Structure 1
Amino acid sequence: MKKLLAAATLVIASQFALSPAFAVTPQQQRMADCNAEAKAKNLAGDERKAFMKQCLSAKKDGRAAQQEKMKTCNAEATKKALKGDARKAFMKECLSN
């Protein structure tokens, strides 16, 4: 009976460990990536702090650049009065460049 109870407890505990509640957020992933890069470069103290600040903001800038590109492409499509499939095709081409 004790073995059965222990096995059941282990199964239940493993289900909680694999639940999506423990998923890594994009911010956590960015932090982990920047930390790994700083460690690989053997950075410490103020040098590490400056690197981390730059690394974390650079990752955000990539997202901001994509949003800016979306705004620009959207404005061009509106200026050209594109609608429907023509607009979709234009946006796809514009965003891929």
Structure 2
Amino acid sequence: MKTLIVSMTFAFGLVAGSAIAADDEKKTPSPAQQAQQERMKSCNQEAKEKALKGDERKSFMSDCLSGKTASAAPAAPATQQDKMKTCNKDAKDKALKGDERKKFMSDCLKG
């Protein structure tokens, strides 16, 4: 019985330790996630400026995040050249190289 308890405790420690280690690794958000985060920031800021509360705020946030309001549209680059400049700058800021940079650029230019 004692060996069972010791084994279970050890196994739990391994699982918990690997979960904590996984949380420590910071993952960079995808371009789509970054766009959603920016949309969330701008919608929150606008709701705050309008001093919306309760159901009115919920309704506004829902519309804003789904793109039903004019302010919900992200400030997307107007041309392909502008997109390329923005994506290149982001890739440089993240110090991406090789295949990782290629994948990032592809995803960035699509989105």
Q: Which TM bucket (shorter chain)?
A: 0.3 to 0.5
- Determine which structure has the larger helix proportion and give its number: 1
Name the larger-Rg structure: 1
TM-score, L = length of structure 2? 0.41
TM-score, normalising length from structure 1? 0.45
